[in-house]
Structure 1
Amino acid sequence: MTMPSPSVDVFWATTLRRWNTVCWVLFAAMAVGIVTALGDSGSRYAALALLGGVALSYGVLHRFPDNPVVRPHGYLVVLVVALGGLAYLRTSYASLFMTTLPHYWMFGRSPRISLGFLGLAAALTLGGSWMEQGWSREFFGEATVGTLIVVAVGVLIGLWARAVVEQSTERAALIVELERTQAELSAAHQRQGAADERERMAREIHDTLAQGFASIVILAEAARTELVVDPGRAARQLRSIESTARENLAEARELVGSGHPPDGSASLARTLRRVLGRFAEDTGLTVAADLTELDCDQRTRIALLRCAQESLANVRKHARASTVGLVLARRPYGVELEITDDGTGFAVGDAVGFGLDGMRKRLAELGGRLTVTSSIGDGTRILAVIPV
């Protein structure tokens, strides 16, 4: 069900107030005219009674517009009867007919009802004139022609006003629907933006802080074992724990402060050499690196760095490898990062967890792709490509 707009309601309220003023002025003027024209005849009192009935009915309807006991159709019945009576009494009913024409459309609950009351008013006025004048020339001239003209004007104006109001109501309903759709779309965009931001922060935390804490745990376990067997190695592992903790603290402060991780402005090749050096020191694995100095934007540097960190963390935790290789190069189709190991490998289709999926999404945001090649016993190859 469509609801009228506030502008349509204001239009009808303003229109009704103006017609109220006109009607009450007309009621008073007709009362004066009836007293003056009819003198002391009995017709004067009958005409005043009919006019008073119309004014009283209209006043009650105006005073209690929402009262179910006071029906707008009741007022229209009184108005129709009064017009017929005034026509029979040979008073100037035409002015009342003209002024109250909008009421048939304002108070009729449908166009059919409005037209019905308007036709009934025309029939009673013609009937009242005929009963008083008979089949005279005056009846066929002034009464009939004047009444039919008034009715025709009322029908045309009423139908036009109805069409305008219906179009305004439909337009208002469309505007309300559009505003509601825009609000829902804006809320959906806000929810999606919040979800995307949470996912991005989750990836950053997983690729930085979580990996750092995992390294600290592994190094702490190794250091505890080496304290008695090899105190020197245990001391190196404790220094690695300290360095990793400091880096994690810096990354946490950067994430909290700006929502973005550090390492975005440093050379990617230099940063990867530092990461590989730390990895080789912590794990004792053989690392082979072929790193080309590249000039690429910050988002590309961070994405490739995170892919390297995640891949090395997976090697440390799962691969049981002895050798790790890392190649960074520029190709005709973009920047390519390849990480390989000679570990136990895994079934790619059965892989679960946040790491690989996070790398794929991070690269996809830049138009890149991640290719994982591995099988049980044959090691693993991670290839990250970002178009430049």
Structure 2
Amino acid sequence: MIFNLERWLASSPTTPSERWSRLATLGLIALAVLLVVVWSVLTPSEIAERGDAQARVQLREAVLTETGPLEAAHSAPASFADGVSVRLPHRLDQGELRYANYRFTLQRPLGADANAPLALCVPRWSSGATVWLDGQLLRQPAPATAGLLDMLRPEFIMLPPGLGDGPHLLDIRLRAVPGAISGLSPIWFGDSTQLREGCWALLAGQRDFTVGNVYLMSFMGLVALAVAIVKRDIMALYFALMAAAWCSHHLFALGLWTSLKESTWLAVFYATRPLAALPLVFFAFSNIGVTRPVLRRSVLLLFGLAYAIFAVMPAVYRPLWATIFGLILLLVLLVLLFWLVRYCLQHTSVLIAIFCAALVLAITFNLLDVARALEWLPRVDRTHSFLAVPMLALGMGALMLERLVRYMGAEERSAIALRDEVARQRTKMARDYQEIKAQSERIAVLEERKRIVRDMHDGLGTQLVSASALLRSSPVASASLVSVIDAALLELRSVLDVLSVVDDSNDPDADPVSLLLGKLRHRLAPIFRAQGIEFGWQTDPLPRGFLKNDRMRLQLLRVLQEAFANVLKHSQARHVELSTQVRSDGIVLEVRDDGTGFEEGRAAGHGLDNMRQRTRAMGADLQITNLQPGTSVKLTFPWPSR
């Protein structure tokens, strides 16, 4: 249910600040209602409160002497005619285009100076008014559409000088236009100085305030439209639409576009009068987070149905349409006000409290106008309904200002974040530059390293191979010299194998040790095959960072070469195998053969001592085991550090 007051009242505030905020909200709303009552009902008219009260009178009784078609209204009224006594304010029946003549009998007010000029002030009357005094024409009717503005503003009429005490006959002939509220309000008669001041104050209070509000609303609407376009803010768009609807209606009321036909002018005037309520409702929906589509569709359906009826109904019923539709909109706004107050009390928002107070003012002003239009309340000289939307605009403007400040804060935070991001990117770019520079240097070193390897292979390696071949072909060549050259050639190839293996730190799959072992296998396989020894190979991929530098990889290569050399020299094996295992407790490289093994007393020697020294230099553990038959040379390495 919409009015779930029990649950609403049960949600008591939990902190002193919330309690004070709720009290302030209710106080603002109560103050707004009190202000409207005092201002609209208890304050006197601008005319009644000026000067000597005995120097003026208010004419509330008139005689309706003539009515008829407009074509018969060109002649002056008869000097005497029977009529019907009416009490002002008086409203003419809506019907065809016609006229009505009101007659008054004037007596100089008792408090008026005998030599002071007299005047009239008419707060409200119909369009196209013509005024006679004792048969003398005092005021000509304005053109048709321009004359419609007479019903929206007071009129000051100066009477001829030297007017005696009376009695005098005052005739006011009004046009009754279908669709316009035709009739006459009470008339002030008396001292011209006092009436001029009061009548002009009454006019200025409406016209000047309306003009100022049009300027204010236009400016606020343009600002809201700019925010809506730049920030794509739907609340700002609703505010701009409300300002446009309100300004368009009051520009008509100020007299723009009087070149239109009377019927067209009146249709636009009534159609634009309630239009500002639609974006107002949507603005409030967006502000309090109402997201149910059925509510928005219902409001759109209400406006669509109302304007469809307006489009097909006769012009004479349009004032009644405006009154009934205004009453329906006031009920909608009352429901909306309840939601706003509940939201404000739950979220302790001072700005929404101000908006609620402005909405209360707007609803109360318009409710008083509707009550007067339905003749539930007597008509007064002035109305304050034109203040409703500007008051709402102030409340909505406060919310928009808060939203704008929030946007500015978000922009500032975004600028700070962007500045920080730029600083981070600059740091990253500097770091990347240093990495690229270091990478370029590494590439240059690698290129130089490859060049050295090529030169050593093509130069020194070729010369050693040639020398070895030449000595082998010579019958007088020393076998020891050939052996030395072959050993030098093997040493050169080992060094070149190590240097040709590149550890690419940017490649997550780089495994330079496995690549080096593969080259070793390529070197040894023909030798073991020539000796009739089967050469086995079982290796696992080695982890990243294992034996990072060339020195350690060369040490490993020397240990393995020594182990394989012992197999060739001493083991008489038929099968030899190299295996690598990556285990949780470390990395194991093992050379195993099926030969004769070794005697414990002969396990020491220069070759084995060198193997142990090289193993310790690599930070590994060397274990040589006599398998009987066969021998196992096992190197256990710890996991590389991250």
TM-score (ref. length: structure 1): 0.33
The structure that has the greater radius of gyration is 2
Higher helix residue share: 1
With the length of structure 2 as denominator, give the TM-score of the two structures.
0.21
